[in-house]
A and B are shown apart, each in its own frame.
Chain A
Amino acid sequence: MLKIENLQARIEEKEILRGINLDIKPGEVHAIMGPNGSGKSTLASVLAGREDYEVTGGSVDFLGKDLLELSPEDRAKEGLFLAFQYPVEIPGVSTTNFMKTALNEKRKYHGLDPLDAAQFLKLMKEKMKLVQIDQALLSRSLNEGFSGGEKKRNEIFQMAMLEPKLAILDETDSGLDIDALRIVANGVNQLRSKDNSFLVVTHYQRLLEYIVPDYVHVLYKGRIVKSGTKDLALELEERGYDFIKEEVDQAIA
């Protein structure tokens, strides 16, 4: 699905990713954890193609294509989805209208006819149920005046609509109370299948109680310094990031 080799990236003159290696196979859920400033969100942004970051080395293969060569919109249309940490407001554009445009752009790319109003509505109803989102919210301007929980749930709804091959969740748990977290996680779990994969970026182990990962990686100073199973997340929860920081810093020293 996704193969990242020695990926390096910087913003302005600051090196943030210093050689990331990661291999995600279909059906797998990988979690990226790490202390603040370790490069977690940068990794998500670089994969999605945000141009504030300059890739200075390495390669990323996504379903046989050179991901870094693709425009952000083509990455999306190839099946990469980023659930934003801070979803953006677009006044006057409803989620429904937004999704209709997005979905039909994707269909066009794959040589399919656009969905007509009835087909689109049917699909929407189906996905709304999946992520327990209200019609009223989808008729409002995208993310405008949404609560934190509504924004994140809306991201998961969009993910459900676009049916990506690889979904990257960038700190989707931040700012959510336990009920919202459960609903969001539940939505993600419903969408898990043997064909699609997830990369869950989070600071806390809490989310991983609900979205159980196959692998957990710890990112620190722009590198993956430790990988393991979900037990690693539990260990981090118990001991904090300090023990890893110490290990790494000692090794460097």
Chain B
Amino acid sequence: MPEQQDDILEEITSSEYKYGFVTNIEADEAPKGLSEDTIRFISAKKNEPVWMLEYRLKAFQHWQKMEEPNWANVIYPTINFQDIIYYSAPKQKVSPKSLDEIDPELRNTFEKLGISLNEQKRLTGVAVDAVMDSISVATTFKEELSKVGVIFCSMSEAIQEHGELVKKYLGSVVPATDNYFTALNAAVFSDGSFCYIPKGVRCPMELSTYFRINAKNTGQFERTLIVAEEESYVSYLEGCTAPMRDENQLHAAVVELIAKEKAEIKYSTVQNWYPGDKEGKGGIYNFVTKRGICAGDHAKISWTQVETGSSVTWKYPSVILKGDNSIGEFYSVAVTNNFQQADTGTKMIHLGKNTRSRIVSKGISAGKSNNSYRGLVNVAKNATNARNFSQCDSLLLGDKCGAHTFPYIEVKNNTAVVEHEATTSKIGEDQIFYCNQRGMDTETAVALIINGFAKEVMNQLPMEFAVEAQKLLAISLEGSVG
């Protein structure tokens, strides 16, 4: 049995990455390397106001004094920041004034990824901002959304059209100085999405951004900012893929969420960056800082992530629970296979009274991968009656992978109740045989068992994406299971 299991494991994990193609399109690129000139180049390309350039330069000066962090449970060669192209924009013959004028090559690229930029073709109520390398190529349903006052556009456009809002909120949750990669991002970010939901509005459709890395030797540094005014609601989803390449590419994003009184933001991620090949060659370094603040009372922020891609992931979507009675949630499924490494988790910072947080983390490790949960629950002195419940489950497939849990708890108020549960399990031969006996082959059995394991998190995803995400889980582990 064990031998055969290894074979099946091998077989399942060896399936090909399905989004690894490259689009042949001419690109407008910055010269390789990073200096003040690079930043001036990016800012000029985007025709940015002075305050934006100053923000970038200040961040860059700070970054130069910082050191790359090494506390995460991941190993990768030192990144040569001078060997990266910081700006690469697919060239379009005419700058499109409407969705119809988008370069067919770009349109096809996104069609191939299952993202339609054609509003008529939409199957579900989802508005999409499509980002390729350093720029947003299209945003759908802008007009329809603007009728209810929702602003949904690329970050570049927001800086031009809604400068005051951007100026007010950018960096207010994740300051440029927060960490090494946020400083880098603040200096060189090129695009991303901006969402603004006015007071009392329930956003009538799902908003989503699809990030695509295409050009060689580039890094993608995007910036997403979502502001939900009082008593508003928005559900936002991001997806990401990249071509298969032998060299690693850096993706260092910053996401900031602001939920005011009684507002709710639901943020879901299906992350499927190229994970590298079976020998661990290539793949995306995904070094991301995501943080939301429940700025008002009774606000709620919920992060859901399905992480299957990237060769190295370093990511802790967090919530600052500032308003009284506010709620923070983190639901995560992280899958690592072959030589992938993930160090991911969350931070729940309880500042307000009666604040509640819930953490459900499901790690699945296969191949020779390493999967770590790292989480912090912090209850401040004035956070009376704070509640946290954390559950961290790990599932191991095979015996060459690793699962680690690093929970940190800091409580300064003795009315707090903080609970932490953790389990580690392996898929049992008994479970597989039971499924076999009901007529399922081992691959089907494993997919079923894994989806069962991850169900609590998958249930949090918007319906339209849950099915896709389920398939993605099975594909990511294809060949790895027994």
Contacts and interface: CB of A to CB of B under 8 A. Distances in A.
A49 interface: yes
A158 B437 CA distance: 11
Interface string A44-76: 000011111000000000000000000111011
Given A51-B4, A72-B433, A101-B448, A92 B438 contact: no
A152 interface: no
Given A93-B451, A98-B448, A105-B444, A88 B439 contact: no
Interface string B1-20: 10010000000000000000
Given A51-B1, A98-B448, A92 B456 contact: yes
Contacts of A51: 1, 4, 433
Contacts of B428: 88
B454 interface: yes
Contacts of A216: none
B466 to A, nearest CB: 13
Nearest to A99: B438
Nearest to B430: A88
A163 to B, nearest CB: 12
Interface string B396-440: 000000000000000000000000000000001011011111111
A91 interface: yes
A73 B436 contact: yes
A105 B439 contact: yes
B452 A52 contact: no
A106 interface: yes
A102 B438 contact: yes
A93 B449 contact: yes
Contact of B438 (A49, A97, A98, A109): A98
B441 interface: yes
Contacts of A90: 431, 434-435, 448-449, 452
A87 interface: yes
B455 A92 contact: yes
- Band of interface residues on A: 20 to 34
Contacts of B434: 84, 87-88, 90
A241 B437 CA distance: 31
Contacts of A30: none
B453 interface: yes
Contacts of B430: 88
Given A50-B433, A72-B433, A91 B452 contact: yes
B437 A72 contact: yes
Interface residues of B, number: 24
Interface in A77-112: 77, 81-82, 84, 87-93, 97-99, 101-102, 105-106, 109
A90 B445 CA distance: 10
Q: Which of A73, A87, A162 lies at the interface centre, i.e. has the most chain B CB atoms within 10 A of its CB?
A: A73
B4 A158 contact: no
Interface string A96-139: 01110110011001000000000000000000000000000000
A141 interface: yes
A199 to B, nearest CB: 14
A211 to B, nearest CB: 21
Q: Which of B439, B452, B455 lies at the interface centre, i.e. has the most chain A CB atoms within 10 A of its CB?
A: B439
A82 B452 contact: no
Given A88-B428, A88-B430, A92-B451, A73 B440 contact: yes
Given A93-B448, A101-B448, A88 B431 contact: yes
Nearest to B428: A88
Contacts of B455: 92-93
A187 to B, nearest CB: 17
A71 B315 CA distance: 43
Q: Which of B434, B438, B440 lies at the interface centre, i.e. has the most chain A CB atoms within 10 A of its CB?
A: B438
B453 A82 contact: no
Given A52-B1, A87-B434, A90-B434, A105 B452 contact: no
Contacts of B448: 90, 93, 97-98, 101
B439 A162 contact: yes
Interface in B160-191: none
Contacts of A98: 435, 438, 448
A48 B438 contact: no
Nearest to B441: A73
A190 B435 CA distance: 25
B439 A92 contact: no
B441 to A, nearest CB: 5
Contact of A72 (B431, B436, B451, B452): B436
A238 to B, nearest CB: 35
A88 B433 CA distance: 9
Contact of B439 (A50, A76, A91): A76
Nearest to A83: B437
B456 A48 contact: no
Contacts of A91: 452-453
Interface of A: 48-52, 71-73, 75-77, 81-82, 84, 87-93, 97-99, 101-102, 105-106, 109, 141, 158, 162
21 contacts: A50-B433, A51-B433, A72-B433, A72-B437, A73-B437, A76-B439, A90-B431, A90-B434, A90-B449, A92-B452, A92-B456, A93-B449, A93-B455, A97-B448, A98-B435, A98-B448, A101-B448, A102-B440, A105-B438, A158-B438, A162-B439
Which 8 A-B pairs rank lowest in CB-CB distance, beginning with the nearest? A92-B452, A93-B452, A72-B436, A76-B439, A92-B455, A102-B438, A88-B434, A51-B1
Interface of B: 1, 4, 428, 430-431, 433-442, 444, 448-449, 451-456
Given A90-B448, A98-B435, 17 more contacts: A49-B437, A51-B1, A72-B437, A73-B440, A76-B436, A84-B437, A88-B431, A89-B431, A90-B435, A90-B452, A92-B452, A93-B452, A93-B455, A101-B448, A102-B438, A105-B439, A105-B440
